[in-house]
């Protein structure tokens, strides 16, 4: 079963608007990662945030992590048509191995 | 430098046949992961290697699936007696170590007829 779940499942916004997607997970983690996938192939890493961090930025991306609520959010500011993709969170477990479990994804569509 | 490569990019096979899928990770990356992805779903963990050994194979669905990484670099995912339900995109990823970002290959689309 999936460890993480993103919401919303789908999001449609106008170019220039901000997009926020959320990820919830079930067990304690070492780190959480966000990935983007275009056209159903080739995931691209966006940001990794560790369990002792609360916020990270990379360009127009901002990720927050709330370990007490077991949730994370990804904010894309000033969205562009090229941001149209599926976004996934991936979490590991603090169980001694570092397998990563991906969520179900948010399908973002940015309208020009 | 070169990214993660996977071969073949597409594989069509008949039910019951044996297939091998290959992954060439980024040079120097010690961790290697295999996932499979069905349409509209997130990647599903299969197995990951740290060096030559399988650190966690809990995602392999049954004993028809097996993976090796004999020299700590290239990995091969082997599927015996393929079934139509094995049809999916098989993704490989590598990372410098298991607590770092993963770099994904383009995937192998497997179709079992």
* A50-91 pLDDT per residue, tens: 999 999 999 999 999 999 999 999 999 999 999 999 999 999
Residue A23 parent element (H or E):
strand A19-24
Show Cβ contacts of residue A35 under 8 Å, excluding neighbours closer than 6 positions. A43, A44, A45, A46, A87, A88, A89, A90, A102, B104
- The pLDDT of B17-33, averaged and rounded, is 97
pLDDT, residue B1, reads 56
User: In angstroms, rounded to a whole number, what is the distance separating the alpha carbons of residues A26 and A17?
Assistant: 30
CB-nearest partner of A48 from B50, B55, B101: B101
Q: What is the dihedral angle through the alpha carbons of B90, B95, B99, B102, rounded to the nearest 10 degrees?
A: -50
Size of interface A-B (CB pairs under 8 A): 65
Looking at CA atoms only, how far is residue B26 from chain A in angstroms? 14
What phi and psi, each to the nearest 5 degrees, are found at residue A81? -55, -35
For residue A40, what pLDDT band results from cuts at 50, 70 and 90? Answer: low
What phi and psi, each to the nearest 5 degrees, are found at residue B84? -60, -30
Q: Is B53 on the interface with A (CB under 8 A)?
A: no
């Amino acid at each position: 079963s999936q460890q993480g779940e993103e919401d919303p499942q789908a999001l449609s916004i106008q170019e220039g608007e901000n997009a926020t997607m959320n990820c919830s997970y079930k067990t304690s983690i070492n780190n959480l990662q966000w990935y983007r996938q275009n056209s159903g192939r080739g995931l691209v890493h966006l940001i990794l945030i560790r369990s002792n961090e609360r916020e990270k930025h990379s360009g127009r991306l901002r990720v927050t992590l709330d370990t007490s609520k077991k949730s994370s959010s990804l904010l894309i500011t000033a969205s562009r048509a090229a941001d149209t993709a599926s976004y996934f969170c991936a979490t590991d477990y603090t169980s001694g191995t570092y397998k990563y479990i991906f969520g179900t994804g948010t399908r973002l569509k940015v309208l020009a | 430098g070169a990214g993660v490569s996977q071969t073949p990019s597409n594989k069509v096979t008949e039910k019951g046949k044996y297939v091998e899928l290959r992954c060439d990770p980024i040079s120097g990356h010690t961790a290697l992961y295999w996932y499979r992805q069905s349409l509209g779903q997130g990647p599903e963990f299969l197995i990951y290697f740290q060096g030559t050994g399988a650190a966690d194979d809990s995602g392999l669905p049954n004993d028809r699936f097996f993976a090796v990484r004999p020299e700590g670099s290239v990995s091969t995912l082997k599927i015996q007696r393929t079934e139509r339900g094995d049809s999916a995109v098989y993704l490989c990823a590598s990372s410098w170590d298991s607590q770092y970002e993963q770099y994904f290959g383009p995937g192998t689309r497997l179709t079992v007829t």
